[in-house]
Structures are given as structure tokens and as C-alpha cells.
Amino acid sequence: MKIYCGLCGHAAHELFSHIREVHSISPENYRQRCPGAPLLSETLSKYLRDNNVQITDRGALKEVTLFGLTLMADIVPDKMVPPFQESYLLRSEIGKLITASLKAGENCLLVGPTGSGKSTLVEQIATRLNWPVVRVAASGGLTEADLLGEWTVQSGETRFSYGFLPRAMKQGAICLIDEVDGLEPSVAFALHQVLEENGKLVLLQNGAETVEPHPGFRLICTANTLGHGDDTGLYTGTRVLNAAFLDRFSSIVTVGYVEREDEIEILGRLVPGCKKNLIKKLVLAADDVRKARENEQVFCTLSTRRLIDIARKTVQLGNLYQALDVALMSRLAPEDRSVTEEIFQRHIGDVLEKEGAGNAKK
């Protein structure tokens, strides 16, 4: 038999996720407002006891082992848990570092080139742990109001609309901020209080309300540079990060492009219609473009994301030359295009000479 929320009458077997998402309060606050009201039904409580599941203020938790590390995960997935990607290839070495940081309750910064899979890796770790994620891009004019909240008019009433950071803190989610080195300095400073050990958030905008972080709250940021700005021309708008800001991250993990064999496997999984031999040639060409970037022969790079687009376009169009032009070459400066075309010609010239990439033999 289900139980009912003492605040709104919502019926469920557990109310932990409901009171967090709908009423934005903790189990402790719920108990104060509704003395004696249960948070778990007898049916669910018996099931949890029989299956050795722990019950805490985070809800009903079970042990989950990932990368050899044991963490407690919600048994009931939150609606903000990222979708599971069956074809995704977890990177064990980097994945273990991120998972260890999550287990320790640390703030984590992931640094690496565009398209290296930083954010997706966090999301795919989170989905295996039933951990909700609030994700936002720092670039593109993110304001302090977006981050913290602001007063708005809703249905004729003036209400405070919480930003994504306090929502994640209340919900017990991973707050994933992409491209944090694109933040305006004033907005980055707003994160300092949360990045402190046992940090809290004081919302001056809402009468100095203090937001206590839920036990499941974590802050993870990604960046294309290690806070020193960009001298490559690849990441326009990247800012120098304050040393005090960087110092507040307990873990800084470098995320490079995946190893060659792993990249071949990733493309094979995500674009099964693309010939295996062609995938190998594309990856080898990508390696050479990245080396050319390191040697300052070009100012572009070639991410795994871009390789996936090339492979998908090849399958869609049935013509590798057109796919390369649409997915890659058309976005390059003339000097970079010339060098990149030469690299691809060296690796896949035999394929380009045929009627379409679909004719490439394994």
C-alpha cells in the first residue's frame, strides 16, 4: 500500500525524491512540517530490509561497484538521471579518478580538448550510479541570475526562481558546468562559497537565504584550458581563471583524446553502418591531424565527436568526399584545410577514388 505526501497528497511508495523535486525540502524539514508522516511505505520498507538496502536521508540506497569502487546509489532513479547509452565505452582509468572524487565528496575539474568526452563521461558514470545531473554551459552569456536565481512574476505573483546551482544543491544532484573557463569573472566568484570545504550558498537575492547542500550534491566543472587562457586560437572567449578559484578544486583530472584502439571501437559502436576498414583509416588520419596541431603545422584539431560526425555523414550520403567536406573541411581556414586534406588523402586516398565510402572493402 502506498503512502501519501503530507504537503500535497501525492501517492507513492517513497517520498524522498518527491519532496526534493516538488517541494524543494530535505527529509529532515519534511519531518518537522509533517510529524510522524512516513517517507517509505511498509511494502517498500520490507523489500529493502529483505534485500539489505540502507535507508538514509538520501533515500533508499544500495551498494554499486564501479571501477572497483563501492558507492551507495539510489534504488529509485531520479528523473534527472542521464539516459544510459548502451554503446558507450567507459574509460576506466579516468573514470576511476572521477568516481573516486564523487565518492569522497570532492569538487572536481576536468581539463581537456574539445570533443574529448569530458561531460559525457561524467553523465555515463552518473547514470550507472542513479545520480541526477544538472548540466549547463558556462559559455554563451551565462549570468549570475542563471546560476543563483532571480525574482520573477508567475501567475500574477512575485516569486523567487532558483537558479541551477541551488536546485542541484537541494536535489542532491551533480552540478555539471561545461566550459567553466568561459565564465564571466563575476559569475565565477559566485561559485567560491560553494567550492569551500563544507561550503554553503547564501542567496542575498532572496533575503540572505542559506542553502545547505544535500549529501548527494557534487560540483564538477569542465574546461578546455587549465585556467591560463587560450593562446592557440581554438577556444575563443576562454578566460584566465583566478588562482583562488582553481585552488578550491580537490581534484583536477586531465582528459585527453581516447587511445587509438578505443576510438576505433567507439566509432564502430556508434556508427555500425560504417565499414571497419574505413573507421581505422579515419582514426589514423585524426591522429596525424592532432600531431600536426602539436607541431604547429595547423591551428585546428580533430575530436572524436567530429570523427563520429564524419562517419555518420558517410553512411547517410554514401560518399566519403562529400561527408568530409560537410562535416570537417568546410569549417577550416584555408591553410588548415590544405594540410588536413593532404593528411586525409594520404590515409584514405584509395577510398576517395571510389564511387562512395560504402564500397570500401573490409
Cell 603545422 belongs to residue: 297
Cα-only R_g, the chain: 24
C-alpha 240/C-alpha 236 separation (Å) is: 12
What is the amino acid identity at position 140?
G
Domain ranges of the chain: 80-254, 260-359
- Amino acid identity, position 106: E
Residue 192: in which H helix or E strand, if any?
helix 192-195
pLDDT of residue 328: 95
CATH 3.40.50.300 fits 80-254, yes or no: yes
Give 150's strand partners. Answer: 161
**How far is Cα 26 from Cα 214, in angstroms, rounded to an integer?**
8
Query: C-alpha cell of 280?
Result: 581505422
Residue whose entry in the numeric block shows the C-alpha cell 549570475: 144
Q: For the chain, 362 residues long, give each residue's pLDDT as a single digit of tens.
A: 899 999 999 999 888 878 877 887 878 789 899 999 998 888 888 887 777 777 766 667 888 999 999 998 887 677 889 999 888 889 999 999 999 999 999 999 999 988 888 999 999 999 999 999 999 988 767 888 999 999 998 888 899 999 999 999 998 899 999 988 888 887 888 888 898 888 899 998 898 999 999 889 999 999 987 755 444 444 444 566 777 888 889 999 999 999 999 999 999 999 999 999 999 999 999 999 999 988 989 988 899 999 999 999 999 999 998 999 999 999 999 999 999 999 999 999 877 666 444 444 33
Please report the pLDDT score of residue 341 as a whole number. 94
DSSP track, 18-71: HHHHTT---HHHHHHHSTT--SB-HHHHHHHHHTT-EEETTEEEEEEEETTEEE
| Full 3-state SS string of 196-227 | CCCCCEEEHHHCCEEECCCCCCEEEEEECCCC
pLDDT score, position 228? 53
Helix (H) or strand (E) run with residue 98 in it: helix 92-104
Rounded to 10°, the helix 320-327/334-352 angle is 160
Q: Are strands 174-178 and 54-56 parallel, antiparallel or unpaired?
A: unpaired
- Contact predicate 314/357, CB 8 Å: yes
CB 27 within 8 A of CB 16: yes
What pLDDT, on a 0 to 100 scale, did the predictor assign at position 50? 78
Q: How far apart are CA 77 and CA 196, in angstroms?
A: 29
- Cross-strand partners of 40: 14
